[in-house]
Chain A
Amino acid sequence: DAKTTQPNSMESNEEEPVHLPCNHSTISGTDYIHWYRQLPSQGPEYVIHGLTSNVNNRMASLAIAEDRKSSTLILHRATLRDAAVYYCILKAGYALNFGKGTSLLVTP
C-alpha cells in the first residue's frame, strides 16, 4: 500500500488558518486522498477526500498538488474543538490504513 508522511505535531492559534501537510510520493492513479480526524477518546471522524481536484466542504478544504504527490488539509479558522489527531490516508480498497497522523494543538 502507498504510504503517507505527516509531521508528528503542529500548533496553531485559535481563529487562525491551519495548513496540515501530507506527502504521498508513491500514490497510484486509483488512490483517493482521505483525511480523518480523531478527537481525544473518540472514534475517527471523516473530514474530506479527493482524487485530483481541490475540494471544499463545511469542515475543511483539501488542496491536492498537480502531480498528486502531496496534499494539504486546510482548516480555515481553527477552534479549540479542532484539537485532534489528523490522519492523511490513501484509499483504493476497502480498508483505511491509518498511520500515526499529525497531532494538532490549538491554543487560545
Chain B
Amino acid sequence: NAGVTQTPKFRVLKTGQSMTLLCAQDMNHEYMYWYRQDPGMGLRLIHYSVGEGTTAKGEVPDGYNVSRLKKQNFLLGLESAAPSQTSVYFCASSYPQGAGRGEETQYFGPGTRLLVL
C-alpha cells in the first residue's frame, strides 16, 4: 500500500494563478483532511471530508475550495493564489475508530510545498 500520496511535491505559482493539489489514499478511509503548515508553526486544518461528496470547513478555509468526488481522492483548489498561501500542504486520512471521533488516528501524506510569488 502506498498510503497517502500527494501531487505535486513542489510548485511555484505567480499571484493570481490557480492550481489544484491532489491527495489520494489507498486505505479505503472514510475521512480526509487538508492542513497547511507555515514555517515554525503547527498544522492548521483547511477543509475536511467525512465521506464521498461531502466537505466541511476547518480553521482556515478562506481562499481554498475542495472536492471529494471519489472516496480515495480529495482535491484542494486555489482559485487565485496569494503570497499568504505560501506554505506546506499536508493531506491526511482516517477511518472510524471507537464510539466517537476522539480515538481516530490520522495518516499523513508527505506534503506539497507551494511558493506563491
Q: Which residues does A use to contact B, with CB under 8 Å?
A: 30-32, 34, 41-46, 49, 51, 87, 91-101
Contact = CB atoms under 8 A, between A and B. Distances in A.
Interface in B1-18: 4
Contact of B108 (A41, A45, A97, A101): A45
Interface residues of B, number: 28
Contacts of A46: 105-107
A30 B100 contact: yes
Contacts of A30: 100, 102
B103 A43 contact: no
Nearest to A90: B102
Nearest to A1: B59
Given A43-B90, A44-B43, A96 B106 contact: yes
Contact of B48 (A91, A95, A100): A95
Contacts of B41: 100
Contacts of A43: 4, 90, 92, 108-111
Nearest to B3: A43
Contacts of A41: 111
B50 interface: yes
A99 B42 CA distance: 5
Contacts of B111: 41-43
A79 B45 CA distance: 31
A82 B34 CA distance: 25
A42 B105 CA distance: 17
B71 interface: no
